[in-house]
Amino acid sequence: NPFSRRLFFYIRPDLYTFDETVTLKLYIDDTLRFTTTLSTSIRQQPLIRLPEGLMGKRWRVNFSCSGVERVELYGVQVVSLPLEVTP
C-alpha cells in the first residue's frame, strides 16, 4: 500500500556526475528530511545510510547541479520497511 507508514533506512541513487557536484535532497511527506552531495567520475550506485528514525508515507528526491557538465541520472531507490498493515 503506497499510503502505509514506512521507516526509511537507505537511499541508492544511480548516477554519473562527470566529477560535478550534485546535491541530493530527500523529502518525506513533503518535508525536507535529508541532504547530501555526490560527485563521481564513473557511474555509481552508492548506498547512503539515512539518519535513524525517518518515518513517513511518501518520498520524493530532488537532484540539483550548478555545474556546466551534463549529469546522467538513471534512477533512485529508497530502502524502507512498512510499519503498518492495512486491509
Span 18-61, pLDDT tens digits: 889 999 999 999 999 999 999 988 999 999 999 999 999 999 99
Contacting residues for 63 by C-beta, under 8 A, at least 6 apart: 13, 15, 22, 23, 24, 25, 71, 73
The β-bridge partners of 78 are 11
Nearest by Cα to 42 from 23, 68, 15, 24: 15
Give the confidence band of 87 by pLDDT, cuts at 50, 70, 90: low
Whole-number pLDDT of residue 4: 85
Whole-number pLDDT of residue 84: 72
Whole-number pLDDT of residue 51: 97
Question: Around Cβ 75, how many Cβ atoms within 10 Å?
Answer: 9
Whole-number pLDDT of residue 2: 64
Whole-number pLDDT of residue 33: 98
